[in-house]
Amino acid sequence: MNTAHFFAVDLGATSGRTIIGTINGSALDMRELTRFSNPIIETNGHFYWDIYALFNEIIKGLKLVAKEGIHIESIGIDTWGVDFVFIGKDGELLRQPYCYRDIHTVGAPDKFFERISRERVYELTGIQIMNFNSLYQLDTIRRNNSSVLPITDKVVFMPDALSYMLTGEIVTEYTIASTSQMLNPRTKKFDKELLDAIGMREEQFGRFVYPGTRIGTLNESVRKQTGLGEIPVIAVAGHDTASAVAAVPADNERFAYLSSGTWSLMGVELNEPIINKESFDMNFTNEGGVDGTVRFLKNICGMWLLECCRREWAISNDYSYPELIEAAMKAPAFASLVNPDSPCFANPPSMIKAIQEYCSRTGQAVPETHGEITRCIFESLALRYKQVFSYLQRISPFPIEKLHVIGGGSKNNVLNQFTANAVGVEVVAGPSEATAVGNIMLQAKASGMVEGIAGMRKLIRSSVSVSTFTPAEQSLWEKGYETYLKVVRENI
C-alpha cells in the first residue's frame, strides 16, 4: 500500500475539526475538511456538552469524504479527557454529558477523601487531584442522588461514546480511561477499591482496548447518512494529549513536551509511572500513552485565559490575534503577573475582571489595555512553564535537553520565545496539528503502514516543519520569575 487516506476527528474543549491525512511513502500530508465550534451549554445551573451536535459534525465531514470520492482506510476520534456519557440498557444515551467546568464538583475531592484518603487515591492511580476528574464527577452525581445512575448500564468516555454512535460497539480506550483517576497505571485496570467507593462495577464500562485497536465498522444508519461503506473505526489514543504526544518529532527520549492549547500540559514520556511522595506533593499525573508508555505530566491552564478575554473583547471590538500580539509587545514587561492555575480563572463570568482583580489583590499594577492583559497572560504562562519545568528537571530519570511545544500554541512565536527565555533550554515548536497527526499515525500503525512509536516519529520528522527558539535575556527572566514567585498564591 503506497498511498492511504485516513479520517481524523479531533475535538477540543472549544472547537473541533475533521481532517484527511494522506500517507504517501514516507510523507504525511493533511487537509482540514471542516472546523466547528464546541460551545459549553449552560442550562438550569449546569454546564453541558452537546454530543449530538458533535456527532452531526462528524457526519458532515464523512459526507464530504463521500462527495469527493475519497477512499478512507479508517476513522479515529480523539477528545479532551475526563468527561463521559451514560448509556441505558436499551442502548440509548440517557442525557447530555456534563462539562468538566460544571461547578457541581467544586470541593468534591475533599468529600471523597472522607472515605479514602488523598494519599491513598494518588497511590492507587498516580493521577493529579483535580476536582473535575471522572472519579469525583461520578461520586458527586451519586451523592446528589441523580436519577440517571439507577438506569445506567454503561459509562462511556467521550471519544468512545462518539465511536459507539458510529459503530454500535462500546469500548473503553486506555489513554482516555487513564484521565479518570479510576485506573491503576501499574495493572492498567480500573481499581476495585475506588469503584466500590462510588458504587460502580468494572462491567459498567466497555471492552478495554489500547490505541490501534479496531472497534468496529460504520453502522447501517451512518452508512445511509453518509453514503460510505463499512469503514473501520479505530481506537486511536482517545485522549487528545496522548495523540499529540505521540506526534512529538523527537529523535531520542531526552525531551519534555508542552502540549499547548486551551490547556497546556507539560511532561516527559516514561516507561514506568512515577508515584512517590515528591510526585504527590507536586501533584503530577501519570496518564496512559502509546506503546505502553506513561505520560508523566502536569496540567496548566493554557490559552483558556486569552480565549475568554478575546470573546469579551469581540463584543465591542474584534481584535485580531496579530493585533493583540503587537499590542502586547508594546506593553511594559513583567508589570502584572498571575498564576494561570488559580481557581479564580477556572470559569469566571469575566476573565478580564478576574485577571484585574487578581493583580489588584496581589498589589500589582492592574492591566487595563488589550496589550497589557495579553502580555500579562503570555508572561505568566511562560513563568508557570518554568516553574513546572523545574519540577520535571528534579524528578525526571533522564536529563531534559529540549522542550517540544506542540499543538495550536506552537504557532505563537512570542510565547514560544518567552518560554525559551524562561525555561532556559531550546524550544522546538511544531507540529501545530499534533493531535490530528498522532491520531492519523495511530490509524496508520493499525493498518500496518508504520511500526511502533519510533516509526511514527521518524515519518513525522520527515513530513513536518518546526521552528527553534534559543533562550535569550536570561537575567531579565530570572528577575521576572522572582517577582512571579512572590505574587502567586499557589506555588505548586
- Classify residue 239 by its DSSP letter: B
Buried b (16+ CB within 10 A) or exposed e, 34-72: bebebeeeeeeeebbbbbeebbebbbebbbbbeeeeeeb
- Residue in the block written with cell 462510588: 198
Q: Is the peptide bond before 367 cis (omega within 30 degrees of 0)?
A: no
Which residues, in sequence order, are bridge partners of residue 467? 429
List alpha helices for 131-272, DSSP H: 134-143, 158-167, 174-177, 192-197, 220-226, 240-246
Phi (first) and psi of residue 318, to 5 degrees: -85, 90
Tell which residue, 284, 247, 307, 286, has the closest CA to residue 450: 247
Helix (H) or strand (E) segment spanning residue 266: strand 264-270
Cα–Cα distance for residue pair 4/448, rounded to 1 Å: 11
Distance CA 234, CA 416 (A): 34
- Per the residue annotation, which of 29, 240, 251, 291 is the catalytic one? 240
Catalytic-residue membership of 240 = yes
- How far is residue 450's CA from residue 242's CA, in Å, rounded to a whole number? 18
Rounded to whole angstroms, the Cα distance separating 90 from 7 reads 29
| Amino acid symbol at 113 | F
Beta bridge partners of 28: 23
What the block records as the C-alpha cell of 244 is: 499529540
Q: Mind telling me the catalytic residues?
A: 240
